[in-house]
Copies of this chain bind each other. A is one copy, B any other.
Amino acid sequence: MHILVTGAAGFIGSHTVLELLESGYTVLCIDNFANAISDEHGNAISLKRVAAITGKPVPFQNADVCDEAALEKVFAENKFDGVIHLAALKAVGESVAKPLQYYSNNLVASLNLIQMCLKYNVKNFVFSSSATVYGPPSELPITEKSQTGQGITNPYGQTKYMMEQILIDVGKANPEWNVVLLRYFNPVGAHKSGLIGEDPKGVPNNLMPYVSQVAIGKLPVLTIYGDQFDTVDGTGVRDYIHVVDLAKGHVKAFDRIKNVGNVGTEIYNLGTGVGYSVRQMVDALKKVSGRDIPVKVRERDYKLQKFPEKMTKFEPETIGVPRPGDVASVFCDPSLAQEKLGWRAENGLEEMCADLWNWQTKNPQGFSA
């Protein structure tokens, strides 16, 4: 099967492309470098490394999914058996400050892609959804059956929730389609090779890239926002998943379509089902790195678990976990993915941290070095 992967040069994209190639799929990768690094020839550095690791060609085009004409050209010149749609703006805090940018970019890109799939008869659509679609307050543990867009506190999460709804409706109107919505929990780690990994632009928005930059000395200290939650040590608990496991989930989705045929619309949680606290994550990285990781705790009014009504601008310092509106613990029930996809996360906390550290030390400046 020949798969179009959007957002392919990013963290999840590059790992997903690698696993697809290792499993015998062929791909066309597109990315607009909104959140990835190109070399001096306009190629994606991450994907060149995927080619080096796999020994296989990784065809790439610089294209923006929001650009209807550019996307049409891609579809006109290729014959795809399916798409994996990863391209999206993804910074939660920024989405609160710039909601229109997030809604426009993420919705229009996805609508364009659906339109092309309808026009060119590509019936297999795998979409990167997110644990954010559950929104607080969550009933925990989260199962595939619980569906709620209520209380999602940020436009980023809303775009994911809206796209789920749109794809469900497109699937209903086109019953020959297969729509697979993969709800990612918190991807961390890196490929064992240490050649590809997460390379956030600027100050990291997510916990573990932040922690590893503190460990390596690029950032001075991790600020934890709130250690009074009702959890093992008071800090927020999340379901972290090794990015290679996450990537394999996409392969399993296409394997299922190959084996079963018409599966209709399906929703899967991709997580480990186990939650770790911020402090547990920090301690685990300390252990594998042997480095000191300074931490300070800052209490704010987060225990209200309500998003400030009049939060008007993006506050860079609210980076960290938990963020405004966060709940104490979020972890998933991944049993449906195990049952139907034959998929489960194989890597635990130690591998996540060891592989992250391996990537970080081999690439202290990310792909740009």
List residues of chain A with CB under 8 Å of any chain B CB.
Answer: 96-100, 103-104, 107-108, 111, 114-115, 118, 147-150, 155, 158, 162, 165-166, 169-170, 172-175, 309-312
- Nearest-Cβ distance from residue A150 to partner chain B, whole angstroms: 7
Q: How far is the CA of A103 from the CA of B114 in the complex (A)?
A: 11
A312 in contact with B115 (CB, 8 Å):
no
> Of the candidates B104, B148, B173, which one forms a contact with A115 in the assembled complex, judged by CB atoms under 8 Å apart?
B104
Among residues of B, the one whose C-beta sits closest to the C-beta of A102 is: B169
- Nearest-Cβ distance from residue A34 to partner chain B, whole angstroms: 18
Q: How far is the CA of A310 from the CA of B175 in the complex (A)?
A: 7
Interface residues of A, dominant DSSP: helix
B104 in contact with A173 (CB, 8 Å):
no
Instruction: Tell me whether A96 and B162 are in contact in the complex, defined as CB-CB below 8 angstroms, given that A108-B111, A111-B104, A115-B104 are known contacts.
Output: no
Q: What are 22 A-B contacts with C-beta separation under 8 Å?
A: A96-B169, A96-B172, A96-B173, A99-B170, A100-B111, A100-B114, A100-B118, A100-B173, A103-B107, A103-B111, A103-B169, A104-B115, A108-B111, A147-B150, A148-B150, A149-B150, A158-B166, A158-B169, A162-B162, A172-B310, A175-B310, A175-B312
In the complex, chain B residues whose CB is within 8 Å of the CB of A114: 100
Q: How far is the CA of A169 from the CA of B165 in the complex (A)?
A: 19
Q: How far is the CA of A99 from the CA of B155 in the complex (A)?
A: 22
In the complex, chain B residues whose CB is within 8 Å of the CB of A149: 149-150
A99 in contact with B150 (CB, 8 Å):
no
In the complex, chain B residues whose CB is within 8 Å of the CB of A311: 172
In the complex, chain B residues whose CB is within 8 Å of the CB of A158: 165-166, 169
In the complex, chain B residues whose CB is within 8 Å of the CB of A100: 111, 114-115, 118, 166, 170, 173
Q: How far is the CA of A99 from the CA of B107 in the complex (A)?
A: 14
Q: How far is the CA of A235 from the CA of B100 in the complex (A)?
A: 42
> Of the candidates B118, B147, B173, which one forms a contact with A312 in the assembled complex, judged by CB atoms under 8 Å apart?
B173
- Nearest-Cβ distance from residue A91 to partner chain B, whole angstroms: 14
- Nearest-Cβ distance from residue A105 to partner chain B, whole angstroms: 10
Q: How far is the CA of A312 from the CA of B158 in the complex (A)?
A: 27
Q: How far is the CA of A172 from the CA of B104 in the complex (A)?
A: 17
B97 in contact with A173 (CB, 8 Å):
yes
In the complex, chain B residues whose CB is within 8 Å of the CB of A118: 100
In the complex, chain B residues whose CB is within 8 Å of the CB of A312: 172-175
Q: How far is the CA of A141 from the CA of B301 in the complex (A)?
A: 35
B115 in contact with A172 (CB, 8 Å):
no
